[in-house]
Amino acid sequence: AEDEGSDGEEEEEVPEDLQHLPPHVQQRRIKVRAAWMMGIGTALVVLFSDPMVDVISKTGEIIGGGAAFYVSFILAPLASNASELIAAYNYAGKKTKKTITISFAALVGAACMNNTFCLGIFLALLFFRGGPNGLVWEFSAETISILLVQLVMAYFTHKRVLRMRDGLLVALLYPLSILLVAVLELPAVGLN
């Protein structure tokens, strides 16, 4: 499946146990298998998400009172996006233009979806549960950091050609965003 066709497109991979079946049966079995795997994945998320939040919170408490955000900002994305990172690495390892493009698109899509989805949920919570006795906005620095990273990523996603230096700059966005939050939360700046 790693051979490229005459038009430069990579052939789609079919699981070995399904290759002997007719295409319409292959498609049906692949869809059933995908639904089964997504169901199992969802069940695992439901089972392990609450304990993971507890572990991250406890780790933040152990490290220090103000460090809870930084612990969650580092550990949570690594834990929750490990499958996307592995899949992107496997795609990029094939070293074809198409698979590297798929790898980059998958990572960008996952990052934008995570940031947008989480920010949307938080803003909805503030809207519906806000007020004098409800939730209070205390995440200006974090939100500014997330929005700036998304804007920079929007620039890179519109470039026709990505070079190694672009990849290094994208990789640096993660530690730079943590640094930006730390700077914005300094008493001199005053964002909470």
Query: What contacts 128, CB < 8 A, 6 or more positions away?
Result: none
Q: Are 88 and 107 in contact (CB under 8 A)?
A: yes
The residues pairing with 10 across neighbouring beta strands, listed in sequence order, are 4
Residue-wise pLDDT for 30-59, tens only, equals 999 999 999 998 998 889 888 888 887 788
Which range scores top for mean pLDDT: 3-12, 104-113, 164-173?
Answer: 164-173
In percent, the amount of the chain with pLDDT more than 90 equals 11
- C-alpha span between 122 and 116 (Å, rounded): 10
Residue-wise pLDDT for 81-126, tens only, equals 787 888 888 877 888 888 888 887 888 888 777 778 877 887 787 7
Tokens at 18, concatenated? 């399904």
The 3-state DSSP class for residue 4 equals strand
Confidence of residue 7 (pLDDT cuts 50, 70, 90): very low
Q: Are 132 and 44 in contact (CB under 8 A)?
A: no
Average pLDDT (142-170) is 86
Average pLDDT (10-26) is 81
Tokens at 40, concatenated? 């199992």
Rounded to the nearest angstrom, the gap between the alpha carbon of residue 23 and the centroid of all alpha carbons in its chain is 33
Q: Could you tell me which residue, 161 or 28, shows the higher pLDDT?
A: 28
Confidence of residue 10 (pLDDT cuts 50, 70, 90): low
Closest CA to 73 of 188, 174, 192, 191: 174
CB atoms within 10 A of CB 145: 22
